[in-house]
Amino acid sequence: MTFVELLAHLGGMGRFQVTYVAALALPLLMLASHNLLQNFTAGVPEHHCRPRQVANDSVGDVPLFVTIPSDDHHRPQRCRRYVEPQWHLLEANGTANGTANGAATEPCHDGWTYRDGVFAHTIITEWDLVCESKRLRQVAQSIYMAGILLGSGLFGVLSDNRFGRRALLTWCYLQLGVAGASTAAAPTFVIYCLCRFLGGLAMAGVSLNSASLCMEWIPTEARAVVGTINGYCYTLGQFVLAGAAFGLPHWRWLQLVISLPFFFFFLYSWLFVESARWQVISGRPDLALKGLRKVARVNGRKEEGDKLSEEALRALVRREPPMPGGALAALVRTPGMRTVSCGVSFVWFSTSFAYYGLAMDLQGFGVDIYLSQLVFGAVDIPAKLASVLAISGAGRRVAQGASLGLAGVCILANIIHLSTHPSTHPAVRPSIQPSSSPSSIHPTTGMGLGGTMARVGGMVAPLVRMAADVTPVLPLVIYGAAPVVSAIATCFLPETRNMPLPETIEDVERRDGHGHEIVQETHFRSE
Give residue 226's pLDDT: 81
**Contact assessment for residue 458 and residue 353, using Cβ atoms and an 8 Å cutoff:** yes
How large is the angle between the packed helices 285-298 and 15-25, nearest 10 degrees? 100
Q: Give the residue from 319, 353, 374 where a domain finishes.
A: 319
- Specify whether 341 is located in the same domain as 466: yes
End-to-end CA distance of the chain: 32
Structural domains of the chain, count? 3
Q: What is residue 112's DSSP assignment?
A: E
Q: Do 165 and 24 share a domain, yes or no?
A: yes
Question: What pLDDT does 322 receive?
Answer: 47
Query: Does a structural domain hold residue 124?
Result: no
Task: Please report the pLDDT score of residue 435 as a whole number.
Answer: 41
- What average pLDDT values come out for the chain (527 residues) when binned by 10 residues? 71 81 88 88 88 61 78 80 78 53 80 83 91 88 90 81 86 95 95 95 88 80 77 87 92 95 93 82 79 81 75 64 51 66 79 80 75 83 76 75 81 70 48 41 50 80 78 80 84 67 60 48 35
User: Are residues 373 and 348 located together in one domain of the fold?
Assistant: yes
Asked whether residue 126 is domain-assigned, the answer is no
* pLDDT tens sequence across 162-188: 888 888 999 999 999 999 999 999 999
* Same domain? 398 vs 350: yes
Q: How far apart are CA 522 and CA 524, in angstroms?
A: 7
List, in order, residues 6 or more apart from 389 with CB less than 8 Å away: none
Q: How far apart are CA 450 and CA 440, in angstroms?
A: 10
> Residue 434: which domain range?
320-521
Q: What is the pLDDT of residues 453-510, one digit of tens each?
A: 877 888 888 888 777 777 777 888 888 888 888 888 787 777 666 665 555 566 666 6
Q: Same domain, yes or no, for 174 and 271?
A: yes
Percent of the chain that is helix, strand, coil (3-state, to 5): 65, 5, 30
Both 467 and 428 in one domain: the answer is yes
Residues 280 and 328 in one domain: no
> Among 319, 338, 354, which residue terminates a domain?
319
Query: What CATH number corresponds to the domain at position 204?
Result: 1.20.1250.20
Q: Nearest CA to 375 among 364, 388, 384, 362?
A: 362
Residue 127 inside a domain? The answer is: no
153 and 10 within one domain: yes
Residue 526 lies in a domain: no
Same domain, 282 and 159: yes
Residue 333 lies in a domain: yes
370 within some domain: yes
Give the end of a domain, one of 87, 114, 141. 114
- Residues 368 and 362: their CA atoms lie apart, in Å, by 9
Q: What is the pLDDT of residue 317?
A: 63
Q: Which amino acid is at 323?
A: M
